Structure 1
């Protein structure tokens, strides 16, 4: 059974709350709004992905995340694809920070 962790603010203060395990993460524009999904992605290390999102590359971004939620799984790629397909089916598009390809 999948267990989602509550949204964690994107701040170095909270990096210790994210495990160094594989899983799927979701970036949220608004920590209090679970529907504000900006990106769905697999991660070999949730901790490294969290730390990478703390310092995004310079340049234009259509939106900026404020929180990350995740669940741990060893089938991270398959689970992320399933969630992306479900998101596209419901919304007719990818999340704002996911590639359209």
Structure 2
């Protein structure tokens, strides 16, 4: 199985930087081996955010799948992100 990446966007309602990052994600070019996953505090709960080490929103976490089926964190961006920051996060995968 080919390695693939998961870009997870952690956000919450009534968060202006979250809304701006969400818009930037729509505009950003995601490589074909990247799947976008959205997690919202109001739906997923604080336990999910805590288990992923997310302490503030917005947070983008890039995970990679391994040949053995494990999911490993590659890097993260905490705080609002524009298109350039998102594409930089994905630049060398």
TM > 0.5? no
TM-score, with length taken from structure 1: 0.27
**Structure with the higher strand share, 1 or 2:** 2
TM-score, with length taken from structure 2: 0.28
